[in-house]
Structure 1
Amino acid sequence: MSGTSRSELGKGPQFRLDFYYSTWWNLLLITVGTLIVTIAIKGIAVPHGFIPAGVFGLAALIYYMTDWLSPGWLNFLFNAPLFIFAWFKVSRRFFLYSLYSIASTTVFYEMIPVTIPVQNELYAAIASGVITGFGAGLVLRSLGSNGGLDVVAVYLYQRYNIGIGRIYLMFNALLFSFSLYRLSPDLVIASLIMAFITSVLVEQTLSLFNQRKVVFIVSNKADEISDDILYQLRQSATFLKGFGAYSRQERNVLMTVVNNLQLKKLEEITFNHDENALFIVENTFSVIGSSFSRRKIY
């Protein structure tokens, strides 16, 4: 068994938490995410005349109708009142990260020449939705947002736990209803497909790296197993009191939370100690506190 002290075990998890909250990591997520979103919108959505999700979609619709400025600059202008809202209702840090996000989107849109040659309208809607949703989800994994509708969505999620993807769908339902007066039904339907896929990918990207496994281990060797979890997996565990219905004997039930990569090692540790152990695994997508995710405060 390693001679690592229990106090040293917490250094790794604490480093991870500080890492995820560091400024450069959040700026990296925002930069990469906004670049991906810009490529999808400028390279696929706008050439096909689609209405992207959120405030950028409103900017694109006005651009199609008036040819005034570009969708990138219109999006920047429409975000001004929402940034004021973010400053007062969310936080100044959230405001600054979101401002960087929308500025990056505008710069990328104006400076990067990109066209993705997808001819089929349905394929284009699917591809644009997947790429946009993934990029937007990356940005929302930071302590900022993509600006626009995300500002309101993050506020509602933080206060009322309303899913961010659902906010997109409600806003776009109104946006596309209005679009029917200006665009062909085929374009509106394709845009709806794109928006739906975007909202799904945003939710999936937000939960992608949060998936954990809750494991319950019923064994007479629970103490030995817990020691190996602490020193080999560098992970904590909790003893729960159990009482056997058949044996009428009290025993410890070991509960721990691991990621997908650690699960197989935990299984090996358990059955090396006790081949008759009961090993129960459940999926979970939200584990906050201790050595896992901090409560996300924007």
Structure 2
Amino acid sequence: MADKKKKLGYSVFWNCGLIIFGSLVQVLVLKGIAAPHQFIPGGLFGISTLICYLTDWLNPGLIYLLLNIPMFILGYLFVSRRFLWYSALAMITVSLSYQVINIQIPIENELYAAVAFGAIFGLGSGIVLRSLGSNGGADVLAIILNQKYNFGIGKFSFSFNLILYSACLFFLTPDLVIASIIAVFIAAQAINYTLSMFSQRKMAFIISEQPKKIANQVMSHLKIGMTMLPATGAYHGQNKTVLMVVINNIQLKRLEEIVFTTDDHALFIVENTFNVLGSTFSKRKLY
């Protein structure tokens, strides 16, 4: 099963499907919400939109295509050729569909429009980033920094856009800039959530006088492994065994029931984990 999932994650069909679907989701809200409200979407497409507003030169889709050329050179040099071709597919899908799709989503309130745009655009962007490519543009830089320095993709996106909107204050009304900032802040959160939703888990620590019995019950009923960590109590200096296990949200309540049914004096500690890789969990992504 794990090998099948790995093969699917690296298959051309799966990656192209994610890229095309995610790109179309982004274009729907770019044309349906951002364009009617004149939002600056952020990233290189935001720069393309700003150039179009100020100069009326070409249109955002074609300007975006031109600005992506140096980004793809960086992607080829610092990531991989496969990453370059998948990112090129995303960029071409956005550029071409932006010319074809003509839709307006009837949201009149600017705040509501900013929230809706950010949430849906971030979802589409996150879907593309779950592939072995990117959305092109500033996302190429985000992937490079994430691979080299573990800098969050959503954080880079928001930082890049803050610089862009600081420049926009010289050309656009403050209300429009603030609405655009709200939109990209929500988009950054949606991107991070979309990227982490399948790799986020719970890590539980269990301190009990019956660690082996609990471990056997968990392995028998939940079909998952546990790790026994040797520990020493600080007050009495007694040797103890701490159980550690990584599980999903669905299994958490069942684990709690097993622990306290076995030992009602056990100490049960749960922490959020945001990136669990390896073993039976998500595999490390290789671009």
- What TM-score comes out, normalization by structure 1 length? 0.86
1:216: Cα distance to partner? 1.3
| Cα offsets for 1:51-88 (capped at 9, x unmatched) | 11100011111222233332222212211221111011
Counterpart code for 1:219? S
Gaps of 5+ in 2: none
Q: Counterparts in 2 of 1:187-226, with a 5 A limit?
A: 187-226=176-215
CA distance in 1, matches of 2:235, 2:185: 51
**Count of aligned pairs:** 287
1:157: Cα distance to partner? 1.4
CA distance in 2, matches of 1:113, 1:64: 18
Counterpart code for 1:187? L
Distance 1:223 1:27, change over 3 A: farther
For 1:34, the equivalent position in structure 2 comes to 23
Of the three residues 116, 124, 137, the one matched with 1:148 is: 137
Counterpart code for 2:145? L
3-state SS of the aligned residue for 1:292?
coil
| Cα offsets for 1:6-29 (capped at 9, x unmatched) | xxxxxx445444443443333332
Q: Counterparts in 2 of 1:124-139, with a 5 A limit?
A: 124-139=113-128
| Cα offsets for 1:188-243 (capped at 9, x unmatched) | 22222222222232223222333211111223443343234334333221111133
**Is the 8 Å Cα contact of residues 14 and 291 (structure 1) preserved in structure 2?**
no
| Cα offsets for 1:251-278 (capped at 9, x unmatched) | 4321110010111122233334333333
- Say which is worse superposed, 284-293 or 48-57, in terms of deviation: 284-293
For 2:68, the equivalent position in structure 1 comes to 79
Distance 1:264 1:17, change over 3 A: farther
Percentage of identical aligned residues: 50
**Is the 8 Å Cα contact of residues 214 and 256 (structure 1) preserved in structure 2?**
yes
CA distance in 2, matches of 1:197, 1:95: 27
Q: Which runs of 4+ in 1 moved over 6 A?
A: none
**Is the 8 Å Cα contact of residues 199 and 281 (structure 2) preserved in structure 1?**
no
CA distance in 1, matches of 2:116, 2:30: 10
- Say which is worse superposed, 221-230 or 236-245, in terms of deviation: 221-230
1:109: Cα distance to partner? 1.9
- What TM-score comes out, normalization by structure 2 length? 0.89
CA distance in 2, matches of 1:224, 1:259: 22
Counterpart code for 1:238? T
Distance 1:96 1:229, change over 3 A: farther
Of the three residues 135, 151, 161, the one matched with 2:150 is: 161
Counterpart code for 2:189? V
CA distance in 1, matches of 2:15, 2:258: 36
Q: Counterparts in 2 of 1:239-278, with a 5 A limit?
A: 239-244=228-233, 249-278=238-267
CA distance in 1, matches of 2:34, 2:100: 17
